[in-house]
A and B are shown apart, each in its own frame.
Chain A
Amino acid sequence: MDMFQIFYTAHRDRLFGYLLRKSGNYHLAADIVQESFTRYLEQYAEKEHNPALLFTIGRNLLFDHIRKNRSTVSYEDDDHGHAIDQEHILQIREEARLVFTALQQMTDDERDILSLLASSGLSYREIAQVTGNSEANIKVKIHRARIKLKQILKGHIS
């Protein structure tokens, strides 16, 4: 297996998880995963593989898409279930779905950070790099986002 294939296998689902959490749109996330790897390979094939760059590319593509379309997309409304194994979706526990829905109620920045944490396996330093924050700042932002998510789940904010 070549190096890129190993890299692809290791990060495909992570990137997908991040984009799905962040966008709430299953197909969009899947499309952007493909696009991200293609662009990543075009730009960085010669260098040592760098997950933070891959996530940066995916993040920027999602930004571009949202900016161009400006349409609100939601996990619930999208026809994400049509092309995939329905049973698998039903297996996602109800609680996790609540968390997922709560995530969509947060600000873009908060959702971005929590999605990266939950999916990417990147360190604080790398997340700071991807999101354009300082390392000291990201610690505080991460914790605040977690607390806010907890409050949303408790119904304090909605």
Chain B
Amino acid sequence: MNDYFISMFIDDELDLDEKIEFVEAVHKDKEFKNQSVELLEQEKLLQVDVGISMAAMALPIKPRAKQNIFRVWWPPVAGFATACILLIGFFMQGTVPVENSKELRRFVIYQPDIDQARIVGNFTGWSPVAMEQIGDSGYWSVSIGLPEGEHRYSYLLEDGQQIADPTVLARERDDFGGENSIIKVSSAI
């Protein structure tokens, strides 16, 4: 009998023949049985939720003074906006104050060759809001509190060019020949 069958039992890795062997060993060998129980008890403690739900962790949203772990910035991930927004609170820069009923969304765009980037959307009243340059990384960022619901926006580059958010798949043409990205903000996770 291989001792590591105990671990394989704990981890649901035994096939049927091995299970038979395991049960017989537990029945015959008291030390083996005790070892199995002790390791199972240990596993229960190991698997205790140390993780405090990440959603809980991300609230309330407030800027952290702590240094950022990563110097390189990455564009925000599309498609899971709501979940992401809460967590990205850790990295807030260029933050617009958030009311309780709003969720903070961080918009990021990579445009290394321009000197000014702005965002325009229904949540800015379609007035351009300046984005902040993130060091010399080429990324521009702004965080804006968004109420629940559907939102449309695009980025304005310094040459007047309007572009949709490349990280968001949902888009629609506006009445002026441009394209807006569409995101949905739903209630907290």
Contact = CB atoms under 8 A, between A and B. Distances in A.
Interface of A: 2, 4-5, 8-9, 12-13, 16-17, 20-21, 27-28, 30-35, 37-39, 41-42, 65, 83-85, 88-89, 92-93, 95-96, 98-100, 103, 114, 117-119, 123-124, 139-140, 142-143, 146-147, 149-150, 153
Contact of B38 (A37, A42, A95, A150): A150
B48 A92 contact: yes
Interface stretch (B76-84, B97-105, B135-143): B76-84
A13 B53 CA distance: 7
A118 B47 contact: yes
A140 B4 CA distance: 6
Contacts of B78: 41
Interface string B56-87: 11000010101011100011111110011001
A34 to B, nearest CB: 5
Interface of B: 3-4, 6-8, 10-11, 13, 38-39, 42-43, 45-54, 56-57, 62, 64, 66, 68-70, 74-80, 83-84, 87-88, 90-91
Contacts of A42: 74
Given A12-B54, A65-B69, 12 more contacts: A20-B51, A31-B68, A34-B84, A34-B90, A41-B77, A85-B52, A85-B56, A117-B46, A123-B13, A139-B13, A142-B11, A147-B3
B172 to A, nearest CB: 18
A135 B84 CA distance: 35
Contacts of B38: 150
Pick the most buried of A41, A95, A100: most chain B CB atoms within 10 A of its CB. Answer: A41
Contact of A4 (B50, B80, B88): B80
Contacts of A118: 43, 46-47
B80 A5 contact: yes
Given A20-B51, A85-B52, A124-B11, A146 B42 contact: yes
Query: Chain A binding site: helix, strand, loop or mixed by DSSP?
Result: helix
Q: Which of A33, A118, A143 gathers the greatest number of chain B CB atoms within 10 Å? A: A143
Contacts of B91: 34
Contacts of A123: 13
B85 to A, nearest CB: 11
Contacts of A33: 54, 87
B21 to A, nearest CB: 14
Contacts of A37: 77
A9 B83 CA distance: 8
